[in-house]
């Protein structure tokens, strides 16, 4: 899947003004691609577009202030991009919404749930609905990357709205991958990016976290190997630890344990002992 970052091709990246999206844009610029950056933060978007234009030429970068939760706006964007540049070979549905420090929990305000799902779940759906038809018509290799989260796999307490939305992205992207795999004539593949601890936004980089550029580099290599689950490590948590956490969580169903037993007082010590062993 070398088409993920290929010279002369088109990359559409949502949440492209900062963090992992910006890092993906930088990689696309280095490859000599035409780049469509999509975000709702106009100031950051303009700054990133200017930066990338200095690498690949201002005429090869489009900065689009579009809310991914608006399906009509996403369809209009796809029509405009295809009319000018053709269908993308890389569609990265990366925009995300996260609220911390609010009421929290199951009784978080419904507005938080609605906005979280509108961006985190329907954002990727809208991106695929808008751009996939053109990617299929182009009859050439293409890549769709949806950004998930480890919280959608292991479901840690603290932010159920975000966890649930990212679990939905996991389920949706698996269905998308199966559809594309079985669709006659399709040369488009789907992949689920699952970042580890990553310095994003304006946060200060802390030892142990990965930089967004490391995530994108890991993603590119995984796509080249045609991997669906792109489970990123970081400097504190290797894949072996994530594998055990994911396995334990899945075994809650098989062993009829309490929900999220990893955090249940009666199972805390057993989980700690399990984590000391190697998976077999």
List the structure tokens of 187: 């040369």
Pairing, β 61-65 against β 90-93:
unpaired
Contact 248, 277 (CB under 8 A): no
List the structure tokens of 252: 């809650």
The question of whether 218 is a catalytic residue gets the answer no
Distance (Å) of CA 15 to CA 72, 146, 175, 184, 221: 18, 11, 23, 31, 21
What are the φ and ψ backbone dihedral angles of 164, each rounded to 5 degrees? -65, -40
The single residue of 162, 172, 210, 218 carrying the catalytic annotation is 162
Active-site positions read: 162
């Amino acid at each position: 899947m070398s088409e993920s970052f290929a010279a002369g091709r088109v990359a559409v990246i949502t949440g492209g003004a900062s963090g992992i999206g910006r890092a993906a844009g930088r990689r696309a610029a280095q490859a000599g691609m035409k780049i469509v950056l999509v975000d709702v933060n106009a100031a950051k978007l303009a700054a990133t577009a200017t930066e990338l234009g200095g690498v690949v030429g201002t005429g090869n970068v489009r900065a689009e202030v579009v809310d991914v939760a608006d399906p009509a706006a996403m369809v209009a964007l796809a029509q405009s991009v295809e009319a000018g540049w053709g269908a993308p070979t890389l569609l990265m549905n990366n925009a995300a919404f996260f609220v911390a420090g609010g009421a929290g929990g199951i009784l978080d305000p419904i507005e938080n749930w609605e906005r979280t799902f509108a961006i985190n779940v329907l954002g990727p759906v809208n991106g695929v609905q808008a751009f996939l038809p053109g990617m299929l018509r182009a009859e050439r290799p293409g890549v769709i990357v949806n950004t998930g989260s480890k919280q959608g796999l292991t479901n840690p307490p603290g932010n159920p709205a975000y966890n649930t939305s990212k679990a939905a992205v996991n389920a949706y992207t698996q269905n998308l991958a199966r559809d594309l795999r079985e669709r006659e004539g399709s040369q488009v593949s789907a992949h689920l990016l699952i970042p580890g601890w990553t310095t994003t936004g304006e946060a200060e980089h802390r030892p142990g976290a990965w930089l967004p550029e490391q995530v994108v580099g890991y993603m590119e290599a995984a796509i080249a190997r045609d991997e669906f689950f792109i489970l990123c490590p970081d400097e504190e948590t290797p894949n072996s630890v994530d594998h055990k956490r994911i396995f334990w969580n899945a075994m809650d169903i098989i062993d009829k344990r309490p929900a999220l037993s990893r955090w249940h007082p009666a199972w805390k010590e057993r989980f700690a002992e399990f984590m000391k062993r190697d998976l077999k």
